[in-house]
Amino acid sequence: MASVLVVEDDQFVRSALIRHLTDAAHTVRSVGTALEALREVAHFRFDVVVLDLGLPDLDGSEALKMLRGITDVPVIIATARDDESEIVRLLNAGADDYLTKPFSVEHLSARMAAVLRRSRAAGPEAAPSTVLSVGGLTVDPLRRQAELDGVRLDLTRREFDLLAFLAARPGVVVPRKELLAEVWQQSYGDDQTIDVHLSWLRRKLGETAARPRYLHTLRGVGVKLEPPAGAGQSR
């Protein structure tokens, strides 16, 4: 079972997808515009997003770009467009798969299953087997749980991967290229991706870039995680 966000403005198609996915035991939420989709992913955790391109407020390709700025949730594009160059462009822009309308619900289910398998298998390799402690922050890579001063943190998959990677190297300045390669599994990319995730992670740690406690950015160098001044540290 997966948590699915359907972004589709055609009410007939939308209802059919909701009915099928619900019958298949998935939890489904649905919206009809790009801005509603952005609000949804900002407030709820999804396993996959099914995104139509022909939305009334923003083209789906722009919506994809904005989604990728705030989340790494797998995105399956569902559209009537079948131009090969468009497909390649969207896949390079961060889409995980692409379905051309009309498609069967069985086809969508198979693509969703494949995307979810890849998503759940992804993440930093060789996760440490011990709980990491940095000041009042604890990170358990195997259980994929993190706590700050005893309070459980609600993190997205990528936020947790980023935090765990830095927590395993307390006090070490990690270059942005290394973060892209190890956390995002990308050899190159936009620094804005890292900045957005750091911003969201800082918010959940109760700090800001102007007043950091754990996360410190060294302009032009990289990022490090260390305990607040005066706090103890152990691993």
pLDDT one digit per residue (tens) for the chain, 235 residues: 789 999 999 999 899 999 999 998 889 999 999 999 998 998 888 989 999 988 999 887 888 888 887 788 899 998 888 787 888 788 877 888 888 888 888 888 888 888 887 766 555 444 445 789 999 999 998 888 999 999 999 988 888 989 999 999 999 999 988 888 888 776 665 667 788 889 989 999 999 999 999 999 988 889 999 998 766 544 4
> Based on the domain organization, do 33 and 109 belong to the same domain?
yes
Query: By the 8 A CB rule, do 27 and 4 touch?
Result: yes
The range of the structural domain enclosing residue 28 comes to 2-122
Residue 182: its pLDDT value, please? 82
**CATH number for position 11:** 3.40.50.2300
Residue 127 lies in a domain: no
Residue 190: its pLDDT value, please? 61
Which pTM was predicted?
0.55
Question: What's the CA gap between 165 and 180, in Å, rounded?
Answer: 11
> Based on the domain organization, do 15 and 103 belong to the same domain?
yes
What type of residue sits at position 189? G
Domain count along the chain: 2
> Based on the domain organization, do 99 and 156 belong to the same domain?
no
Q: Is residue 75 exposed (0-12), middle (13-18) or buried (19+ Cβ within 10 Å)?
A: buried
What type of residue sits at position 147? E
Pairing of strands 75-79, 48-52: parallel
Which residues, 6 or more positions from 187, have their beta carbon under 8 angstroms from its beta carbon? 180, 181
Question: What's the CA gap between 79 and 57, in Å, rounded?
Answer: 16
Q: Is the dihedral of CA 10, 13, 15, 18 positive or negative?
A: negative
Which residues, 6 or more positions from 57, have their beta carbon under 8 angstroms from its beta carbon? 33, 34, 35
> Based on the domain organization, do 46 and 70 belong to the same domain?
yes
Question: What's the CA gap between 40 and 30, in Å, rounded?
Answer: 9
Residue 196: its pLDDT value, please? 85
Residue 34 lies in a domain: yes
> Based on the domain organization, do 42 and 112 belong to the same domain?
yes
Q: Which two tokens stand for residue 42?
A: 């900002």
> Based on the domain organization, do 82 and 140 belong to the same domain?
no
Q: Which two tokens stand for residue 221?
A: 């160098």
Q: Is the dihedral of CA 30, 143, 229, 183 positive or negative?
A: negative
Residue 51 lies in a domain: yes
> Based on the domain organization, do 23 and 102 belong to the same domain?
yes
Residue 235: its pLDDT value, please? 45
